[in-house]
Amino acid sequence: MDLGFIIGQVFNGFSVASIYILAALGLALSFGLMRVINMAHGEILMVGSYVAYLTIALVPGPLGIFAAMIAAFAVAGLLGGVLEVTLVSRLTSRPLDTLLATWGVSLILQQAARDIFGATGVSVTAPAWLDHTILIGGQTLPVTRLFIMAVAVAVLGGLAAFLRSTRIGLLVRAVNQDRPTAAAMGVDVRRVDAAIFALGSGVAGIGGVVLALLGPVTPNVGQSYIVTAFLVVVLGGLGSTLGMTIAALMIGLFMALSQIFVDVSLAQVLSLLFVILFLQFRPQGVIAVRSRALDE
Amino acid sequence: MSDLLNLRSVSAAYGNGQVLWDVAFDMKGGEAATVLGRNGVGKTTLLKTIMGQLPVSGGHVYIDGEDVTAMSAHMRARAGIGFVPQGRHVFPHLTVTENLEVGLSALDRKSHTGPKRVPEMVFDLFPKLTQIAKRKAGVLSGGEQQQLAIGRALAGKPSLLLLDEPTEGIQPNIVQQIEDALLRVRTELGVAILIVEQNLDFAWSFADRYFVMQRGRIVKDGKTAEDPVETVAHLVHV
């Protein structure tokens, strides 16, 4: 078998994993902290994609993509914050109702996108500097995919720095470890919830920008990634950011490498089987976390 | 009502199971009181109800004359209640310093001016905390965790400190240190203390008043200076 092809597939695996990381990070954050499964998360990705489309139309040129990321982070973060304050925070003790309510929001957002932008997709024109390939170690690699990996690494690094060195990051870690005690120390846990939900949504918005670079933006664009994003969160250990990152890499590489032998559809089936088998032997996921969600 | 804490006919329940029945008492600023009773009589529930971790099913809680019955736990912390929960509940994956910094959240109140910094008094009371400042709380010994839990509550400069069995599972020399520290908290900082305790000698050594609970009610109360410890021992020990 051609070694170059295998290396190419490994590269693809990392690139797909980067998208999963951006899509799943918000889910992992909100589940770890609040035990909330946000069914509208995929549509927040979709909103990020449409914001990218609008921003790049307004700000053409090489820096348009960065403007799009900032705008998508802000709009998606705001949307997430509003969703948390108006809906999710009122249903926190009723997980099943949260699931249904956020599913309703997801349908509303999809229909809204259909009404505003039409059912057929719109295309985002990537800046010219992304539209290249470069040769590394005898491999021709598309710059877009390298850019996506860099975005995922930057977001993960930024988030780690935020959680480690800011006051709100400290409070998030405290609430995650022991919610009732954090409240008894004067921490406004509701505000921490809202902040982290908004942050997770903002990250999903950046994920949406990245998706827009890979294909047409449709009202259903979030749906195609959200199932795998949920898988990544479960496989990672429900709420562990590190576990989620490792899980995204595992699934991304598994999908890409299995495509050496089988076609894409079968690779997806095999990746589901892989997750099921993995959880049979390690039900707690890659990294077992003691968070509020799992203590109860 | 110029008292620091007033409980009026407070009842509390876990689901359908009522645990507290018509509990009422008052505490003044700087006072020390102890809640005694056998396991399962509702002592921890009482503290959680005062802290706001458990909603009341009836009655009212007042702090400084203000009705806080509908207030969430974090607002009560900011109103001046410090809490040292049973089992210490330090944040295991945070360092000692970070644990203390979380305690500063209680300073988010209008009456607080000046910088939000862990008071020197905390390190003065528990010098060990300076030595272990960078260690994760989860790896500390029980005694160290207890000192941290008390320090964390004091970081928020409370006017009332609630402690739930602070000597449970702690070696005797540390118990003495904690007792000395609590005496100083009371005399030097003027903080009122309400302590749930099974260790009668420890409770009697610094509390002015005692309340004995049975089946979710206060069945006996008095002053520790007037009643010898033997008068309640049979109500507390099995």
**ipTM, interface predicted TM-score of the complex:** 0.93
B157 CB near a chain A CB, below 8 Å? no
Chain A CB contacts of B150 below 8 Å: none
User: What's the distance, Cα to Cα, between the start and end of chain B in Å?
Assistant: 38
pLDDT at B23 exceeding the cut of 80? yes
* pLDDT tens-digit map of A253-290: 999 999 889 998 998 899 889 989 988 888 888 887 65
CATH number of B5-236: 3.40.50.300
Q: Are B173 and B91 in contact (CB under 8 A)?
A: no
Q: How far apart are CA A238 and CA A283, in angstroms?
A: 11
Give the one of B89, B98, B156 whose C-beta lies nearest to A186's C-beta. B156
Structure confidence at residue A8 (pLDDT): 85
Q: How far apart are CA A81 and CA A100, in angstroms?
A: 18
Structure confidence at residue A122 (pLDDT): 93
CA distance B9 to chain A (A): 23
Collapse the DSSP code of A21 into the 3-class scheme (helix H, G, I; strand E, B; otherwise coil) and give the result.
Answer: helix
**What single-letter DSSP state applies at residue B33?**
E
Structure confidence at residue B186 (pLDDT): 92
Q: What is the mean pLDDT of residues A63-88?
A: 96
Instruction: Name residues whose C-beta falls within 8 Å of residue A127's C-beta, 6 or more positions apart in sequence.
Output: A56, A61, A62, A63, A64, A65
* pLDDT tens-digit map of B75-112: 999 999 999 999 999 999 999 999 999 999 999 877 77
Chain B CB contacts of A181 below 8 Å: 83, 85, 89, 91
- Give the percent of chain A with pLDDT over 90: 58
Query: Which of the four CATH numbers 1.10.3470, 2.60.40, 1.10.8, 3.40.50 does domain A3-295 have?
Result: 1.10.3470
Structure confidence at residue A296 (pLDDT): 40
pLDDT at A138 exceeding the cut of 90? no
Structure confidence at residue A294 (pLDDT): 43
* Residue contact B74–A183, C-beta within 8 A: yes
* Residue contact A180–B73, C-beta within 8 A: yes
Chains A, B: CB pairs < 8 Å: 72
pLDDT at A291 exceeding the cut of 70? no
* pLDDT tens-digit map of A110-130: 999 999 999 888 999 888 888
SS (H, E, C) A262-281: CCHHHHHHHHHHHHHHHHHH
CA distance A81 to chain B (A): 21
CA angle B208, B34, B225 (to 5 degrees): 30
- Give the percent of chain B with pLDDT over 70: 99
pLDDT averaged over chain B? 91
Structure confidence at residue A30 (pLDDT): 86
Chain A CB contacts of B89 below 8 Å: 178, 181
Chain A CB contacts of B72 below 8 Å: 183
Q: How far apart are CA B88 and CA B142, in angstroms?
A: 8
* pLDDT tens-digit map of B174-199: 888 898 999 999 999 999 999 998 88
CA distance B229 to chain A (A): 32
Q: How far apart are CA A115 and CA A113, in angstroms?
A: 5
Give the one of A167, A177, A181 whose C-beta lies nearest to B93's C-beta. A177
* Residue contact A186–B91, C-beta within 8 A: no
- Extents of the domains making up chain A: 3-295
Structure confidence at residue B212 (pLDDT): 93
pLDDT band at B229 (very low <50, low <70, confident <90, very high): confident
* Residue contact B53–A189, C-beta within 8 A: no
B65 CB near a chain A CB, below 8 Å? no
The identity of residue B43, as a single letter, is: K
For chain B, how are helix, strand and coil distributed in percent, rounded to 5? 35, 25, 35
* Residue contact B105–A173, C-beta within 8 A: no
pLDDT at A240 exceeding the cut of 80? no
Tokens, residue A230: 């949920």
Tokens, residue A166: 């800011």
The identity of residue A276, as a single letter, is: I
* Residue contact A170–B85, C-beta within 8 A: no
B103 CB near a chain A CB, below 8 Å? yes
Mean pLDDT is lowest, of A133-142, B17-26, B137-146, B166-175, for A133-142
- Give the percent of chain A with pLDDT over 70: 96
Interface test with B, best of A92, A173, A185, A189 (most B CBs within 10 A): A185
Sequence-ordered strand ranges (E) for chain B: 5-14, 17-27, 32-36, 56-63, 66-67, 81-84, 160-164, 192-196, 209-214, 217-223
Give the DSSP H or E segment for B140. none
* Residue contact B108–A189, C-beta within 8 A: no
**Residues belonging to chain A with any Cβ–Cβ distance to chain B shorter than 8 Å:** 167, 170-171, 173-174, 177-178, 180-189, 290
Chain A CB contacts of B153 below 8 Å: 185
| Residue for token pair 């390190």 | B123
Structure confidence at residue A100 (pLDDT): 93
B108 CB near a chain A CB, below 8 Å? yes
